Each structure stands twice: as C-alpha cells, then as structure tokens.
Structure 1
C-alpha cells in the first residue's frame, strides 16, 4: 500500500520531455546505439559546470549537498527513503531513437530527447550548459566537436515548442508539467510498441520473448512507475484491480536487438541486448491504463537511464489530452 496521494485524470505531474538538437562541427562517428555514450558525456558535462572543488571524487566533499552534479547524475536517497529505495534513479531518462545516424558530416544534426522529473525541471538551464560543454569537449569516436543548436519542449504529444537557442541565451517560459489524460473507461487490448531495446527480468534472469507473460510485463511496469512516483512525482495511480494480472494475456511480436556498451567503472564491455517490436496485452486493463500511460515517460525494465525500455502507445489506443490553457488543472507538488 502506497502512502502517496492518488493521481487522477486532469492532475498535473512534475515531468516534461525535451528534445535536444546537436550539430556536428567535425566528422562525427557515433555508436550504433549512442544512449550510453550520451549519458557518459552528460556526466562529464555536468561535473564540468557544477563542481567547484575539483575533487576527483564526490565522497567527502563539503559542498556535496549543494552541488547539482550528484543531485542530477548520482542522486542519493534521503534517510527516510533509503530503507525502501536504497538505489534511486537519476531524475531524468534519456531517449535516443534507434536508427540515429552513426556518421555525421560537419553541419549535420542529430536529435535525442530527455524526460525530466521533479527536481530536474528547474535545472533545465544547468543541463543545457552541461550539454553545451559536453558537445564542445567532443562526442563519439575521436571526440568530434558539436554544438547545441536548440532545445524544444513537448507541449503535447508530437507538438514541440522551441524553448532555447544560442541566440535567445536563456530558457523561454513554459509550463514544465504534463496532465494525466482522460483515459477510456475500458480497453480490452493495449499494444506497447517497443521503440528501444527492452530488458525485462523475472527472478533475476533476463526474459526472452517466449518467457514473457502479461504478469511479468505489468509487474515490471508497476515497479518502475512506483519508483519514479515515490522519488519524484509525489502521486501514484490507483492500485490496479487485484484479479487483472491473472486474467491478462500477452501476445509478443519482437526480436532481439544486440548491442554492447563499455563500462568505465568495470573496465569491460557489457551486453545490453533487449527486445524491440510490440507487446499486446489483453484482458481487463482499464485499471492499468494510467500506469501504461506514465510508463511512456519512465520507460520499462532495466537500464532505462541509457534510453532502453522506451515504448509508445498507439494514438488510437489512448486518448491524449493537451495541456490546459487555463490554470484549472490540479497539481501534485
């Protein structure tokens, strides 16, 4: 049982999606899936613009509690939260589409997205500075320089508004929240289109397509959304119906996407294989719809900070609600 308040249709939640556009200033060679590379570059950029002491490690730093680098990149749970969530996620999720070009000529651009949660929202300016620093220090094989040409905010699904360019020099005012839409009262089938490799585990083991069940998918979704809700959102959808897991079924149409990342911490290459394709849930899913909708922001499964586990719900499946233009939406602070 959660001690968080319930979020309902019309409630405003502290999260937002942004799209960053980088322009290559020299021939740029990216990995086949650049999510891990971008996360590492963000960490270096954040440390460069945030750290005052220039210590090699954050441990023992007298300014640790006031520094944005650990707050945004390596957050630590509060004492009250540590017993329940000893490891908390960073307040962002990278979103890097499969098929991002691996070779860019000078002047070419590529885009990626970030979902920001709770305390990361007012630090958008810091993140922009970090990306500018990271891009100028060099990206990809050969550390080729790039520049940040613009940042856009997703004001409604698929609708983007420019909130920063180097010419503006500052972030333009915008409402950095999303509104939980008015979802259909009943839906017997929901398809999750897996946009990036998705790594789902059961009893500590990575599942292949034939091993997945509706219960495994929905329980993983519940854990992920609950984690971000407790750490950053301050509200949670109502607990799904107790019998829905037993009655739900799953159809899979997926294949394994294979890729590896190099871990500087462990000094070795690590497999990050995951499923892409589609998962179709069937059954009494009405109580799961708010969870499924929020999961599009939190992602699903393991290693989501690299951008893994992103899925989309077809627009025909759920009704999307634009952000209201009045101040009438309910907010959970």
Structure 2
C-alpha cells in the first residue's frame, strides 16, 4: 500500500550558538537585529559565497520584496545586563537547501576570535555550537563534528492534536501586514493564512512539499473559529538599518489570545508555526509563537 504523503515537508537544522560574556555589558531587550549582524558579519568575512546565498538570497532572486529567506534567528529572552561569564545563547535555524551550507556557517563562526556586541562593542567569545533540539555537540574547543548536525523535518507536526480551545502567545513581535499597514486585530484566519503562505513560499524556493488542498481547507475552516479573548498590544520598536542608513519602524504585536472551536484540523499548522514563525522579519527573530491546547 502506497504511503500517504504528509500535508507538508521541509527539512530544517537548528544550530544553538552559545557565546560567553567576557566583559559586563548592557544590551537591548530584543537582540534579533544584533545577532543577525553578528552572524552576517562572520559569514561575510569568512565565507562570502555562503553569505551571498544565505543572507542575500532575496537579491539573488531579483530583490523582490516577497522572496523568503532560508534561515531564522531566534534571540534569547530579554535580559538587560550580561555579566562577565554569562552565556548569551541564540538559535540559527537553516531551512531546506540552506542546510548544505551548515559546515561553512559553523566554520565561519568558529574562526572569529571574539564578537563585539552592543553599542560598546563588548567582547563575547564562542563557547560551543550544538544541534538546537538534540543538543549534540557540533563544535567545541576547535573540534568540529558535523555528524551531530542532523536535520529535522516539519513533517513531524502533521499529526493532529485533539483540541477545542487554544492559547497562542506571541513571544517576539508579530509583524503581519495587509495593504501596507501593520495588522493589529489578529484573528485565527489571519494566523492560518500567514503560516500556510509561509510553508508554501519556503517549500517552493528551498525544497519540500505542501498539500495545497489541505492548506486551502485549513484557511476555510479558520474562518469559522471564534476568538475567545485577546490581550495583544502594539510593541513600539525601531532598529537602525545599515543598508538603508536610517532608523526603521519595527513595531509588532506582543501578548496572547485564545480561540475556541473545532481546532483539530488546524493544529498541524499552528504547531509548525512554532518552528517557522509567522509574519515578516522572522530572519531577525520576529513572529515566534507558543501554543497551548486543551
């Protein structure tokens, strides 16, 4: 009997990068942009070809606004002061075809003697790089073990969870735009449209698969799910863009919302959103969510 294809499939490799603080320093609450710069700087100097593919994929595709990038930065939770000896841990998640550059990325980061982070450029040194979910050691003390860099597949989330109630927490700013404006009244259809679109664009560009019929059906079902409560709020934030040489509005929605109804067919999409994020600027860490069912 032919095995039924999953409703979606895409390999991803989470790299947990752990830096040790060498000098006490104060850092911004949200480090997505800062850590994006740390990784980008290391690749640009140590492995330009890898940098071009991973960080400039949009430019390689004609600089179209909606070309999705093949990686995600997941910054740590906010911490105002890092004391000497503290660890700064973040995840770099490679998606699809970008996984083939994993060894170049690990090598490039490992070759940097120390990273100057924050406005005062205080020193942080690489302690190790682990597989982000299995915690196998990929790099430590000048030793590299790429066998520990085992990819995973989002197809594991295709199993449905029985659920009639769900709480969704926005861990980092969620930036969903419609007609050029930031969406602040986020509902279930908006969330499901965002994640199905994200899976579609990632699999089209970087390998993998999505069942379009199931995705379309999920969007239809989402329109019948009622919003229970919403405690979302607008988090005002700006970042300085080195490319544009100006401050850029980076505001997004934080908080939590609940919804009720027959959620079971939607749970695979909500679960995979925990890995792939939703909305814009996931490469800087935006759009990270957590889900609780009952």
- The normalised TM-score by structure 1 is 0.76
Q: 1:77 to 1:297 in 2, by over 3 A?
A: farther
> For 1:180, what is the secondary structure of its paired residue?
helix
Q: For the residues of structure 2 that align with 1:50 and 1:16, how far apart are their CA atoms? A: 19
Q: 1:258 to 1:132 in 2, by over 3 A?
A: farther
Which residue does 2:165 correspond to in 1? Answer: 189
Which residue does 2:139 correspond to in 1? Answer: 164
Q: 1:283 to 1:231 in 2, by over 3 A?
A: farther
Q: For the residues of structure 1 that align with 2:158 and 2:261, how far apart are their CA atoms? A: 20
Deviation by residue 1:33-82 (Cα, 9 ceiling, x = unmatched): 1110111222221110123xxxxxxxxxxxxxxx2221111114888xx7
Deviation by residue 1:73-93 (Cα, 9 ceiling, x = unmatched): 1114888xx7xx774222110
2:161 paired with 1:180: no
Q: Which deviates more, 295-304 or 232-241?
A: 232-241
Deviation by residue 1:224-279 (Cα, 9 ceiling, x = unmatched): 22211222241114324264133122232223323221011222212212222223
Match of 2:36 among 36, 39, 47: 39
**Contact residue 9 and residue 209 of structure 2 kept, 8 A:** no
Q: For the residues of structure 2 that align with 1:94 and 1:221, how far apart are their CA atoms? A: 17
Which residue does 1:259 correspond to in 2? Answer: 237
2:86 paired with 1:95: no
Which residue does 1:70 correspond to in 2? Answer: 52
The root-mean-square deviation of aligned C-alpha atoms, in Å, is 2.8
Q: For the residues of structure 1 that align with 2:166 and 2:159, how far apart are their CA atoms? A: 12
Match of 1:225 among 190, 194, 199: 199
Q: Which deviates more, 110-119 or 27-36?
A: 27-36
**Structure 1, unpaired ranges of 5+:** 52-66, 318-333
Q: 1:130 to 1:217 in 2, by over 3 A?
A: same
> For 2:239, what is the secondary structure of its paired residue?
strand
| Larger helix percent | 2
Q: For the residues of structure 2 that align with 1:171 and 1:149, how far apart are their CA atoms? A: 17
**Contact residue 20 and residue 150 of structure 1 kept, 8 A:** yes
Number of equivalenced pairs: 286
- The normalised TM-score by structure 2 is 0.85
2:26 paired with 1:26: no
**Contact residue 253 and residue 278 of structure 1 kept, 8 A:** yes
Shift of 1:117: 0.7
Q: Which deviates more, 277-286 or 189-198?
A: 277-286
Q: 1:263 to 1:204 in 2, by over 3 A?
A: same
Shift of 1:134: 5.7
Which residue does 2:261 correspond to in 1? Answer: 283
Q: 1:27 to 1:222 in 2, by over 3 A?
A: same
Q: For the residues of structure 1 that align with 2:215 and 2:230, how far apart are their CA atoms? A: 25
Which residue does 2:226 correspond to in 1? Answer: 249
Q: For the residues of structure 2 that align with 1:284 and 1:202, how far apart are their CA atoms? A: 27
**Structure 2, unpaired ranges of 5+:** none
Shift of 1:137: 4.4
